[in-house]
Structures are given as structure tokens and as C-alpha cells.
Amino acid sequence: MTDLAAQDPVVLFERHRAEQIRSRRGQTVLAILLFFTFLAFSINMSQFFPEKLAAGLPKIGDYLYDILPTLELSKLHLDTETEGSLAYWYFNLPTYLQLLLQTINMAVFGTLIGAVFGFLLCFPASRNLIRNYWIYFIARRIMEIARGVPDVIYALLFVWAFGIGPMAGVFAIAIHSAGALGKMFAEVNENVSTGPIEGVRATGGGWFEEMRFGVVPQVWPNFLSYIWLRLEINIRSSSIIGFVGAGGIGQELYYVINFNHYEEVSAIVLLVILTVTIVDLISERLRHQAIGKEQLL
Amino acid sequence: MNSSMTFDRRELDELRARFPEVVAFDKGRRNRNVLIGLGVVAYVIFCLWAFEITWERLTGGLDKMAIVIRQMVTWNDFWTWDFSGIALGLAQTLGMAFLGTLVASLVALPLGFLAARNVVGFSPLRHLVRRVLDVFRGVDQLIWALVYVRAVGLGPLAGVLAIMTSDTGILGKLYSEAVENIDKKQVEGVKATGASPLALYRFGALPQVIPVFLAQSLYFFESNTRSATILGIVGAGGIGMQLSERMRVQYWDQACFIIILILIMVGVIDWLSGKLRMHFIGKRDL
């Protein structure tokens, strides 16, 4: 009788299940305990206390209300002198547009410099393309330092070294992009097919010829798409890098926020959102085109 | 063809005549490349002018950078540094990132479902939720931080709120995409047992999306530990505050020390959360 019960698949299954549940319960309790300890630590560290929140939240509402423009429907079309018109809200539009162009230009130029240096660094940083371990090691570490530090921190440093202005921003973006792109490029390089490289070697080509005619034609399309992706990221970061004085629309935004030119805050933020959205849309379209053409990814 | 695999001029010409398409020189392509090259050179010159990058500024700046780097690596009065302040900054950064991501995930959870096409058929509501998420996402975290610092004052609370706001936007969008990509068959299977609409979500949809949600939140916790390090620059607490203060008064050695600590912290968090992610979703890619 007992024998039969022990062989019953349902009983066996239930027993096995109970065992598993028991062994998992200990882990779950431990995980929950850890989670709440860390949560308490975080709340304590960041002063995320109810009374502080209750005091702060209405102020956030007030602030958001303050930066909204006072627009009146009947006056929308009037000139810059009339309060309540669109023109009054965007009275500084020519300056904004100029700064916006500068911001985008900073991103493009920074990405260009970064791409050049990332390109130069990625070949020595690919394990399959370089025989000397130390060259590989040094190239990897250089890239890690370049991309590990956020570009705003570099900007802070460069503002001190090169002076206030977009030059510091461009260099900060460039150095961070060089590290980030170099790593991406190197990963592409490590997946190349060796056939073309061996082909070039067979004709008597040296290391540089191998890279130029064996590797680059294989990886170039991927490199381009990574550069484009980076440009998108850089346009975002170039709009805030001005907070530390490194040029672009961020510098103006920092100024108007700190000096409480309320309506200008919303005007600039709206322009920045618009720019970033347009860039996103363009790049989405380009990506779809590229995918349609190449039929991969 | 001679046996030594070298060709004289006459043979070369003969070969060229025989296989014109192999040796054809593509003039259009060369012209295009030259044009692109010229364009890039012109653009670089324009940028040098537009950003006022001159040789003197470059060399002067590089000289200063050399001084900075020298000071960064000579740590003289190491034991007198404010270690407790630095440790507190690091702890604050971690706390800000964790709490910001957690709250953002909780807020994004319902919003993600509301923004999913296969959940909300009523399109005005869906579009409204999506546009709100767009605004949260479109404004950079650092701008949110600056705004919150004006509202709730200097300190890590502003940082948490900033991380929370921008991450709600991103996570909400990612969550809604995950919900839109669920496999219908499991939902239909639950439906076949006669389950109620709520049970349909609980047993049909949630088990499919929860691992993805968790993995994405963990990923953003990682990325927020990075970005929380710079929020302090605008006064929103964390290690960035310590770092930027020291950089402004040119304590480069301490700044370098802090940067190294940040890199170590970010590395450790990356590793830990990578492990956790693996635990939750297996070896599957996002």
C-alpha cells in the first residue's frame, strides 16, 4: 500500500515540488532582506523623506507653473513688445537658433574628431589584429580612461585649461567619443573574417596594407552606423555640456535658470526637445533605409 | 605569361586590353572621394574658425593640461584628505541611483501598460501617456536636476527626482514595447481555461514581461550610477558635488582620486548587476 503511494506520480511530483519550494524560500527571504536593507540605506542617503517631499513637491508645481509662458489667444500673433504673444515669449529666438546651431556643430565636430581617434586606436586594441600584447593592453586602457569619465567632467577640466567656450566642449565630446567609439570599433574588428587579411598578406602586404585593404572594407559600414549612433548621443550631451561653461545652448539655459528668466527656460527647453526629437526621427528613417538596403540586423 | 610571375610593360597592356572591367579605373568614384575629402577639410577649417581654436589656445591649454596631469599623479598630503566626505558622496550616488531607478520602475509599470497598443485600444489615452513619457525622456537628466534644485534645494533629493523623472520616460517606453511584443499564445492558453480578464494579465502577460522589466531596470540602475556621478555638478548631491568642488578649486590630486573611485564603483556595480541580470533572464540578450 505504502509502496503504491510512493510510486504514484502525483505524490512524487508533489514531494519534489515541496522540496524545491523549501530550498527556494531561504533564497527569497535573503534577497528580500537585502533589498530592503539597501532600500533603507538609499532612502537615508538621499534624504527621500516624506516631509521633505511634501514640502518640495508643491514648489516643483509652482516652478513648472512659473516657467510656462503667459500666452493669450487673442494676442498670439502680435509683436515682441506685447505680453502674451508668441513673439514676446521667443523674443530671443535669433540668439537661441544661433546657439542651437553651435550646439549641433559642436556635436558633429566632436564626433568627427572622436571618430578619427577611435579609428586610429581600434586596430591596436583588437586582439586578433595585433600580436604584441602590450600595445593591445595600452590601447585598451587609453580607451577605458577616455570613455570611463563622463564628458561633462572632461568639459569641467577643459574649461579650466582652454578657457570658457565651445572649444572645451568640443574636446570633451571628442575624447569621450574616441573611447566609446574605439571600443565599439574594436569589437567589430575582432569579428572580421581572416580571409581577406590573409589574401593581402599573400600578396606581400604589410600590417598597414592588411588593415587598409583586408579589414577596413569589411568593417566600414558598421563603423559608419556606430558613428551615427554616437552623433545622436553627442547632440544630446552637447546641449547640456554648456552647464559648466563649455559653450552651446546649455550655457544659455544654465544662465536663464539661475537668473530666473522663467519664460525663457521653457522656450529653450522646448527648442532642445524639438531638436533632439527631429534628430531621432531623421536617424530612425535613415536606419530603416539602411536596413531595407542591406537586409541585416 | 612568363613563369617568374612578373610582367613587362607590353604584357601588362595586353592584359589590360583583355580584361578592361578588372582594371577599369572608376573616375566617378575617385571624383566623389576627392569631393568628400575637400568637404571635410573645408568643414574642419570652418569649425576651427567658428570655435576659435587657434594654435596659441591649443598649446597654451595643453601646457596647462600637462600641469594638471602632473598634479593629478602627485599625492602629497594624502592622509589629510576628507575621506568621510568622499565616502558619503559615493554612498549618496549609489542611493540616488537605486532609489531613482526603483521609483521610476514603479511609476513606469502602469504607464508602460497604458502606452501599449495591445492593452489600451482607446487611442487618445495611449497617445496622451506616450507624449507625457516623451517629455520626461526628451529633457535631459541634468536639466531636470537643475530644475529640481531650484524647487527642493541643493542635495541628493533633487538628484533622485531628476533620475526618477527621466527614467520614468525611458523605462515607460521600453516597458510598453516589451508588452507589445508578448507572445499571444500564452494569453490565449490562459483564456482557454476560462480565466477572468485580470487573471489573463496576471498569468498570461506578466510572466512574459516581468523578467524583461527587471533586466531593463537593472540595466538602468547601472547606467544611473554613471549619470548620478555628474548630477552633483549642478548641486544635486552625490560624488559629483565633491568632484566638481575640488576641480573648481583645483585640487587635481583629490579630483583624480575621486575619479578613480568612481570608475571602481561603476565597474563593481556593472559586474554585480550583470550577474543579477543573468540570474533573472538567463543568457538571453535584451
pLDDT tens digits along B112-127: 888 888 777 777 888 8
- A48 to chain B: which residues are within 8 Å by CB? 99, 157, 160
Chain A residues close to B262, C-beta within 8 Å:
149
Q: Going by C-beta distance under 8 Å and a sequence separation of 6 or more, which residues neighbour residue B127?
A: none
The B residues from 106 to 135 touching A (CB cutoff 8 Å) are 134-135
Ranges of beta strands (E only) in chain B are none
Closest CA to B164 of B255, B100, B112: B100
Q: Is B189 a residue whose pLDDT tops 70?
A: yes
DSSP state of B78: G
Q: pLDDT exceeding 90 applies to what percent of chain B?
A: 31
The pLDDT value recorded for residue B1 is 43
pLDDT of residue B265 exceeding 80:
yes
Nearest neighbour of B157 by CB, restricted to A38, A46, A265: A46
Interface check for B154 against chain A (CB to CB < 8 A): the answer is no
Q: Which residues of A touch B233 (CB under 8 A)?
A: 152, 156, 243-244
Residues of B in contact with A256 (CB under 8 A): none
- Asked whether the CA dihedral A212, A214, A220, A223 is positive or negative, the reply is negative
> Which grid cell is B220?
538602468
**How confident is the model at residue A295, as a pLDDT?**
45
A-chain residues near B51 (CB < 8 A): 106, 109, 165-167, 170, 247
Cα–Cα distance for residue pair A145/B264, rounded to 1 Å: 12
Residue B4 binned pLDDT confidence (cut-offs 50, 70, 90):
low
Rounded Cα distance, B159 and B155, in Å: 7
* B157 and A56 Cβ atoms separated by less than 8 Å: yes
* DSSP sequence for B214-239: HHHHHHHHHHHHHHHHHHGGGT--SH
Residues B271, B248: Cα–Cα separation, whole Å = 32
User: Which residue of A lies nearest to B97 if distances are taken between CA atoms?
Assistant: A42
CA distance B190 to B200: 6
Give tens-digit pLDDT for B220-242: 998 898 888 889 888 888 899 88
Average pLDDT for runs of 10 along chain A of length 297: 67 86 85 90 85 84 84 71 75 89 94 96 90 92 90 91 92 95 92 89 89 90 90 91 90 89 88 87 79 50
Residues 6+ apart with CB under 8 A from B1: B7, B11
* Interface with chain B: mutation pick from A45, A254, A284, highest number of B CBs within 10 Å: A45
Who among B51, B142, B227 is closest to A166 (CB)? B51
Supply the mean pLDDT for chain B: 86
B142–A276: do the CB atoms touch at under 8 Å? no
Q: How many residues does chain A have?
A: 297
ipTM at complex level: 0.81
Give Cβ neighbours of residue A126 (< 8 Å, ≥ 6 apart): A136, A186, A189, A190
Structural contact between residues B62 and A178, judged by C-beta atoms closer than 8 angstroms: no
What are B182's three cell numbers? 508578448
Report which of A83, A103, A74 is spatially closest to residue A166, judged by C-alpha positions. Answer: A103
How far does A4 lie from chain B, in Å, by closest CA?
32
CA distance A125 to B130: 42
Contact B97, B272 (CB under 8 A): no
In the numeric block, the cell 531596470 is attached to B217
